[in-house]
Amino acid sequence: MFMKFLRIKAIAKKELIQIWRDPLSLALAFMMPVLLLLIFGYAISLDVDNLSTIVYDADRSSTSRELIDELTASGYFSVVRFADSQREIDTYLDTGRARVAVSIPMDFAKTVRTGGTAQLQIIVDGSDSNTATIALGYLSALTELYSQRIAGERITPLIETIVRVWYNPELKSRNFIIPGLIAVIMMVIAALLTSLTFAREWERGTMEQLISTPVKPQELILGKLLPYFLIGFIDMVLTVLMAVFLFDVPLRGNVFILGIVSGVFLFGALGLGIVISIVAKSQLVASQISMVATFLPSFLLSGFMFAISNMPVPLQIISHIIPARYFIIVLKGIFLKGNPLRILVMDAIFLLIFGAAVFVVANKKLQKKMV
Amino acid sequence: MKKTSERIKQMVIKEFIQILRDPRMKAIVFVIPVLQTLVFGFAVTTDVNNVPTAVFDLDKSFESRELVRRFEASGYFNIRVMPGSPAQVQELLDRSTVTVALQINPKFGTDLLRRIPTSIQLLADGTDSNTATVALDYANRIIKKYAQDLAGPPSSLSARVDVRQRAWYNPELKSKNYNVPGVIAMVIMLTSLLLTSMAVVREREMGTMEQLMVTPLKPVELILGKTIPFALIAFFDMILITMLGVLLFDIPINGPLLLLPLSTAIYLLSVLGIGLFISTIAKTQQQALMATFLFYMPAVLLSGFMFPIENMPVMFQYVTYLNPLRYFLVIIRGIFLKGNGIAILWPQMTALLLLGIGVFALSAFRFKKRLG
């Protein structure tokens, strides 16, 4: 495993020149994280509010209007239409113009006044199950409150629940998504950048030229990795700065630890791209494999947005070998929880092992192909 | 005219040989949609179940145990640990071992027996805001139900409004019913974009584009020859995912199935058009790959696939009108879940068709110009 620094430097320099000559790719490498972060920060939110709601008020009494006001005042529902008939509700839900329908029967106010039990019908478009679940939760809380109020009694419930939310007290989805997104972006950039490096050399026939030089596999890998490491790290700094200053995501932990763990993660991610590149030998194949091996798992199986505890057991087991899983724990820990190193050390060690393993595999594969 | 179709046919055959010559590529065309469907069907679930929970029970009475039992029996909470001190609770939340912690105070049981209002503490890790919101709602309901059960039958005055809640189209509120049809749209977009843009650029990178140009192939024939194979692959993927969805995940098909290939064809017009467009910008395969991604990610995020469009700021909502994925998702989900037919879906289909014609014409024009 003897390596010459000079040769690594030479390879890195060659690679840098090649990157520099392709300014479009370089620009895309910096635009991608910025664009993704902007979209996630500004455009996307899992918070459920302003749900388009259609109301069929057959009663048209002050009581029923009061209920409707209560729903809109909550901010979760915005009434897009007052229907003239029950049929209209069907049309609005079918065409997706409304996601929630509230139907108030004709004798609503009268029944309530005489002390009977009035029936209220609520229909939710369940095709988006997440929004529907949350909307139903809001609706039952609101109607229950309303029901208690018009009953004129404010019986203190037997059990009062005191709820406290830690780390993200306002439950902003932005705070939850952005730290995890940094890991996904790093993984995507790594896949896009390195997965084509060796494949390109093979395709263009320049690999043979490299083989004929005295450069050793490990030197070649490190030399090719370094420039991309630089780009990746700049992306990393860029995203962290944007998260903190543009999106006000709290950064409660140690920035220095964040930097080191990010470096370790980046090394492993780039290394994985290189392994793919060595094995695939063709750019088309490499791009497809890297999609399946890096982007999809880090996006979907890492706990970035979808809780791992919800997945079936085999997928939970698979998630253990996905580096993004550990990096996301570290990122969320440092950003939101202000975790000390003591708590994050196991995750960092795993990332280190992953990086080392990937480097060894890349070496072995390249050695075989170079002979 | 006969010649034209013959030339296109030859070109398509050549293209197929080239793509599928690499045995790994054959596998990829098959494996990518299957993997994506499996992952989305099994893993991508925003259903909140089995939330890891800690119970810090300072009371250890019959009542507190009954409440804990109800938490467990609900299926929403999975009680992992019974910590012995507040510091331990903190540690569990810090380490993300649990997401929710329930703290029951010492006098809980005796207070309840005497019918004195008592309190209970619920701690949630807000890092995952979605899970936290839903889990807290479930927890509140369980606690409220318990309190009601203890208080005995409701007095005639309370609960004067009886709410009937129903969820249409997906009554059990299953995430997979929402996600799996969407995978069709995603897979078609990614594979078609990547294959089209990279295949054209590769031809240019390797210098074989010149060879194609000296043949009697007309530009239009070249464009068709380059896109038809990927369209066929896209159709194959569509059928594959639909079969997986129906057979493995029990996704209902409530609408006319025939509408699916028709709308896929319209959708492909835009997608292949964009792929061609990228190929006219990119000089190398690396650029094509990155440009594809630069388009693909925002297109997925701003389509309503995972994030509701109504939640977006108005400006972004307008941007989504230019996104073919947006329309196709409405169509697919309409066909699968809502049982919509052409009577309801025609606005989306028209929009998609117009968008497709526009994008394809623009790309073909640029493509021709670059050839000449």
Q: Which helix (H) or strand (E) holds A293?
A: none
- Is the pLDDT score of B159 beyond 60? no
Between A157, A160, A176, which is nearest B128 by CB?
Answer: A176
**pLDDT for residue B271:** 93
CB A343 to CB B95 under 8 A? Answer: yes
**pLDDT for residue A156:** 59
pTM of the model: 0.79
> CA triplet A54, B254, B252: central angle to 5 degrees?
105
- Distance separating the N- and C-terminal Cα atoms of chain B: 23
CB B298 to CB A35 under 8 A? Answer: yes
- Is the pLDDT score of B139 beyond 70? yes
What letter does residue B163 receive in the DSSP assignment?
Answer: E
CA pseudo-torsion sign A175, A179, A182, A184: negative
* pLDDT one-digit tens code per residue, B18-52: 777 777 777 777 888 888 888 888 877 777 888 88
Which of B28, B112, B134, B163 has the most A C-beta neighbours within 10 Å, making it the best mutation to test the interface with A?
B163
* pLDDT one-digit tens code per residue, A140-150: 888 877 877 77
Give the helix ranges, DSSP H, for chain A: 5-20, 23-38, 62-73, 86-94, 108-113, 129-150, 173-194, 197-204, 206-212, 217-241, 255-280, 283-290, 296-300, 313-319, 323-332, 341-370
**pLDDT for residue A241:** 93
Mean of the per-residue pLDDT values of chain B: 84
Across-strand partners of A161?
A: B120
Between A121, A153, A300, which is nearest B164 by CB?
Answer: A121
Is residue A120 very low, low, confident or very high in pLDDT (cuts 50, 70, 90)? confident
* Most confident among A3-7, B84-88, B123-127, B202-206 (mean pLDDT): B84-88
What letter does residue B155 receive in the DSSP assignment?
Answer: P
The mean pLDDT of A283-308, rounded to a whole number, is: 82
CB B167 to CB A171 under 8 A? Answer: no
* pLDDT one-digit tens code per residue, B176-213: 788 888 888 888 898 888 888 888 888 888 888 778 77
Other beta carbons within 10 angstroms of residue B284's beta carbon come to 19
Which of A231, A293, A242 is CA-nearest to residue A28? A231
Residue of B nearest to A174 (CA): B129
How far apart are the C-alpha atoms of B265 and B274, rounded to whole Å? 14
Give, to the nearest 10 degrees, the angle between helix A323-332 and helix A341-370: 150
**pLDDT for residue A187:** 87
Across-strand partners of B56?
A: B103
Is residue B156 very low, low, confident or very high in pLDDT (cuts 50, 70, 90)? very low
Between B44, B158, B306, which is nearest A151 by CB?
Answer: B158
**Residue B356 structure tokens:** 């497709």
Between B22, B131, B294, which is nearest A31 by CB?
Answer: B294
CB B297 to CB A35 under 8 A? Answer: yes
In this structure, are residues A75 and A30 in contact, taking their beta carbons and an 8 Å threshold?
A: no
Other beta carbons within 10 angstroms of residue B363's beta carbon come to 23
Is residue B165 very low, low, confident or very high in pLDDT (cuts 50, 70, 90)? low
Residue of A nearest to B35 (CA): A292
The distance of Cα A90 from the centroid of its chain, to the nearest Å, equals 34
Give Cα separations from A318 to A272, A340, B18 (angstroms).
Answer: 17, 27, 34
**pLDDT for residue B153:** 58
* pLDDT one-digit tens code per residue, A173-226: 778 888 888 888 888 888 788 888 888 888 888 888 888 888 888 888 899 999
The mean pLDDT of A333-353, rounded to a whole number, is: 88
Category of A215 on φ-ψ map: left (φ > 0), alpha (ψ -120 to 50) or beta: beta
Residue of B nearest to A315 (CA): B43
* pLDDT one-digit tens code per residue, A243-278: 999 988 889 889 999 999 999 999 999 999 999 999
* pLDDT one-digit tens code per residue, B288-319: 888 888 899 889 888 888 777 777 888 888 98
CA pseudo-torsion sign A98, A100, A105, A110: negative
Q: How far is B9 from chain A (nearest CA, A)?
A: 23
What letter does residue A213 receive in the DSSP assignment?
Answer: S
Which of A31, A40, A44 has the most B C-beta neighbours within 10 Å, making it the best mutation to test the interface with B?
A44
Residue of B nearest to A39 (CA): B298
Burial of A312 (0-12, 13-18, 19+ CB in 10 A): exposed
**pLDDT for residue B372:** 61
Chain A neighbors of B306, CB-CB under 8 A = 305
Between B94, B134, B144, which is nearest A137 by CB?
Answer: B134
Give the helix ranges, DSSP H, for chain B: 2-21, 23-42, 62-73, 86-94, 108-113, 129-151, 175-205, 208-214, 219-249, 259-281, 285-301, 314-320, 324-333, 342-371
Other beta carbons within 10 angstroms of residue B115's beta carbon come to 11
**pLDDT for residue B157:** 46
Q: Write down the ipTM of this complex.
A: 0.76
Category of B61 on φ-ψ map: left (φ > 0), alpha (ψ -120 to 50) or beta: beta
Q: Which helix (H) or strand (E) holds A251?
A: none
The mean pLDDT of B124-139, rounded to a whole number, is: 82
Is residue B272 very low, low, confident or very high in pLDDT (cuts 50, 70, 90)? very high
- Is the pLDDT score of B126 beyond 70? yes
In this structure, are residues A19 and A226 in contact, taking their beta carbons and an 8 Å threshold?
A: no
In this structure, are residues B206 and B200 in contact, taking their beta carbons and an 8 Å threshold?
A: no
What letter does residue B305 receive in the DSSP assignment?
Answer: S
Query: What percent of chain B shows pLDDT beyond 70?
Result: 93
Cβ density class B3-39: b for 16+ within 10 Å, e for less: eeeebbeebbeebeebbeeeebbeebbeebbebbbbb
Chain A neighbors of B338, CB-CB under 8 A = 94, 127
Give the range among A52-56, A200-204, A341-345, B160-164 with minimum mean pLDDT.
Answer: B160-164
CB A163 to CB B124 under 8 A? Answer: yes
* pLDDT one-digit tens code per residue, A60-112: 888 888 888 888 888 888 898 898 888 888 888 887 788 888 888 888 888 87
B283 and A CB contact within 8 Å: yes
